[in-house]
Copies of this chain bind each other. A is one copy, B any other.
């Protein structure tokens, strides 16, 4: 691969930090015990301690107690566990509410539950991707068990007002889950301030290892296990504890600073500003104000997103179209459609994801490249503005 390439695509954040790997290493080679052997011998105790210390660090970043954090294999499993775990735990099949623009792991867990006889309501969002809270309130029923609304969107970065939603649901005695995969450590959630019951987080979005995530579960909230087997994770998630990755996850949490978040936000704003200034017929998808710091999502009208990514790749820039999952299917993004965009807008949308490793120079260079690429593509585009003029 090309070392000079600039990564602003959705894998930008999956580059592991050197410090993370350094923290993991002792648990690959020295303290490699399984945590459940803890009272049998010394290394087992050390391994167990390392796991619990990692758990404490991560829980602390949500202002939560250590025992409120369940390690999983990632955000997908955490979302599956939150939705299915809560719904399966009900004696009667109940009602679930999610938004139209949730990540696939929430959306398709809900659809699976629907197939199994549960009822699901889907709440629409406005043109900025903000959940229609009045519609949410009207959808609440006597048998509503759980509401799952993401903290920020995976594609357009729109941040929901989870505090307002959580407080409303707390009064109604309805459980509230939020998928915070794309805001964790970027926009803090204080579980003492926000009465949310379940939170999905992941290491891979903050330069931690892949294959590990966690579910925050407020004390007292009952869920049924979906990964059956041994008694690990307080008997809520079976499987050999992944101690090296848990330690790496905790290190990734520690490495994120307020300054970094400010820097990333400023890079994002610079990109949006320059693109809007210098390129005609662009639409910023999502909310301008309530937006995750690392995300910019822009539709370049009259051109295909796929063509833009390919041309930018040849020039040394990696960006994404749609979500990671969509990039394969070539279907139009349900998120862009959800905010009222048509297929043309969905296909012309480009997602930029900013990471620890991006610089101001990257932004200046990519804006120049996009300008050039988009102009060239518009010249020859069959959707072309030219043609419509």
Contact = CB atoms under 8 A, between A and B. Distances in A.
A29 B36 contact: no
A24 to B, nearest CB: 9
A105 B18 contact: no
Given A42-B313, A227-B76, A9 B29 contact: no
Contacts of A227: 76-77, 80
B74 A36 contact: no
Contacts of A16: 28-29, 32, 244
A238 B318 CA distance: 24
Contact of A43 (B11, B31, B204, B324): B11
Contacts of A229: 76, 79-80, 103-105, 108-109, 325
B9 A41 contact: yes
Nearest to A46: B1
Interface residues of A, number: 82
A164 interface: no
Which 5 pairs between the two chains have the least Cβ-Cβ distance? A105-B229, A73-B73, A230-B325, A41-B313, A76-B239
20 contacts: A1-B43, A14-B34, A28-B209, A36-B328, A40-B321, A41-B319, A42-B318, A44-B327, A75-B239, A75-B240, A76-B230, A76-B239, A77-B239, A80-B228, A112-B228, A204-B240, A210-B241, A210-B242, A229-B325, A231-B328
